[in-house]
Structure 1
């Protein structure tokens, strides 16, 4: 029997690059709210009393030993608050899997950043390139990206993974599951990668669906998005219809959002061992 998986969080880059993994005999429902979706830490609750440093927060997570030099070769404004960095990787042995993130080392900046990779392993294999999406905040690495980073800036990267050792299903019993995404942001301009998601929905009809939620939309929503947009926050009513024993839920976002959704899921009867979240998600886009 196919298993359902629900992703709750703040943005979509990792869904885009890791869609093939999501389908591995699982059905998925994703709730995204403007941050990156990535492999998560299994737990039912999270408490956030103070902001932890990225290295402190992820101290027990697996990391590759190698630290690779990289050079910024492209900077794109994905929205008013998010920049996409394209990096050329010097080390030919540098590799990553869908769902992993990087420690981001900046010369002259003592704080180490933690950002999700928003490009596919295929781009790295073909062209030696990797992309990161970074939201503007006062967090030193994110602040540097938005105020000082230029083309040809040099940095260093180290790959980490919350679920190191994850094994993809093998054998002849493969069955494509489904992915349902709830993706919320302030307005449609902050729905990063929305056209990529629409493309996936068209490429996999019935297998990938997404409901965009906007909470402070002031302008008219474009016709392309209108059929897929709901004004207002993701609610208990939105999620409760997907509750089943075969459903997994993935939450992605800053700690207060994770706490809120975790409590909501508990209220509608979702077992704790079926809920996964990013314990350092404010650093994915340095939120």
Structure 2
């Protein structure tokens, strides 16, 4: 549930004037998304792939309030959103850009806690020529307005009464986005549990296996390492690099391994009775890791995955 937060003047403008503008009335009109999306086969890519997934009914306006270069190929957008906007850690948004027919699909890399505290969500978008991603990298600026609709069955939303599970998070490339959201949410729940003396949530451990071409493409690596330091008995991670040419920076060396994620590492972090695995990355990686996990005895219903390519 989204809590209360203080709105700055720009956010107040977003939540009132922007909703009532002619542009947002067209975007938010019942059925308008479907009408816009039927005119081009290419723009249906994301919507077709996710047609069977859960979606909220509401389409909300959002305004870009910050842009961060996370790597040479990835920009992270900070978006001020409508007060009624809500999501679960790991979910994605349909991303509507005024004047652009193609609808984007991007996983949120922030967590519900940031939304509660600041009224902000974040999206890390890798450069491609696909129109929505291309717009993010070439046109988008602070102040740009978009609309977003939350969807997805890939999320971690434990309740206080749920039994404890150990998370195994496996990411490839920008597939880290929803898993980072889940990791941040787990960190928030751990802090809540500490402050309540263990009465609120029963939280197990979380191990992250994250593969990318090189350390420059490892998004959020500093924050991930910090989380492991804050909760050393709960969080651990290994970064895998497959095309590293430069020397690995000293502070990263304890966490970086050369080559792909191995069966041995997966086995060391799988308990068929306790482990819940979330996978996000290219389909070949997801298929290979899923087969390995099932070979290690992890039931199929404890392997949750998100494919974006």
5+ long unaligned stretches in structure 1: 1-51, 283-287
Q: CA RMSD, aligned part only?
A: 2.3
Measure the CA separation in 1 of the matches of 2:155 and 2:107.
Answer: 15
Partner of residue 261, structure 1: 289
For 1:225 and 1:258, the matched residues in 2 are separated by 25
Q: Give the structure 2 partner of residue 21 of structure 1.
A: none
Question: Aligned ranges for residues 246-285 of structure 1 at < 5 Å?
Answer: 246=273, 247-279=275-307, 281-282=308-309
Moved more, 205-214 or 115-124: 115-124
Check if 1:190 corresponds to 2:236.
no
Query: Structure 2: how far apart are the matches of 1:164 and 1:250?
Result: 9
**C-alpha deviation, 1:56, in angstroms:** 1.2
TM-superposed deviation, 1:60: 2.1
Q: Which has the larger radius of gyration?
A: 2
Deviates more, 1:259-268 or 1:181-190: 259-268
Does the 8 A contact of 1:100 with 1:161 survive in 2? Answer: yes
Query: Which structure: greater helix fraction?
Result: 2
Counterparts of 1:8-27 in structure 2, within 5 Å, are none
Query: What is the aligned partner in structure 1 of residue 107 from structure 2?
Result: 116
* In 2: Cα distance, 1:111 partner to 1:219 partner: 38
Pairwise CA distance, 1:225: 0.8
CA distance in 1, matches of 2:100, 2:144: 13
1:205 is aligned, of 208, 232, 241, to 232
Please point out which of 44, 48, 58 is paired with 2:50: 58
* Aligned length in residues: 230
Q: CA deviation at 1:164?
A: 8.0
Contact 1:71–1:152 at 8 Å: present in 2 too? Answer: yes
- Aligned counterpart, 1:241: 268
CA distance in 1, matches of 2:142, 2:269: 45
- After TM superposition, the score normalised by the length of structure 2 is 0.68
Matches within 5 A, 1:173-188: 174-188=201-215
The Cα of 1:111 is off from its aligned counterpart by: 1.6
Please tell me whether residue 92 in structure 1 is matched to residue 79 in structure 2.
no
| Paired residues of 1:188 and 1:217 also in contact (CA < 8 A) | yes
Residue 254 of structure 1: CA displacement?
A: 1.6
Structure with the larger strand share = 1
CA-CA distance at 1:131 after TM superposition: 1.1
8 Å CA contact retained: 1:62, 1:164: no
Which structure has more relative contact order (CA 8 Å, sep 6+)? It is: 1
**Farther-moved stretch of structure 1 (79-88 vs 144-153):** 144-153
- 1:182-212 deviations in whole A, cap 9, x for unaligned? 1111111111001111110111012100011
Greater mean deviation of Cα atoms: 197-206 or 146-155: 146-155
Q: Give the Cα–Cα distance (whole angstroms) in 2 for the partners of residues 103 and 197 of structure 1.
A: 27
Secondary structure in 2 aligned to 1:138? coil
Q: C-alpha distance in 2, partners of 1:127/1:249?
A: 30
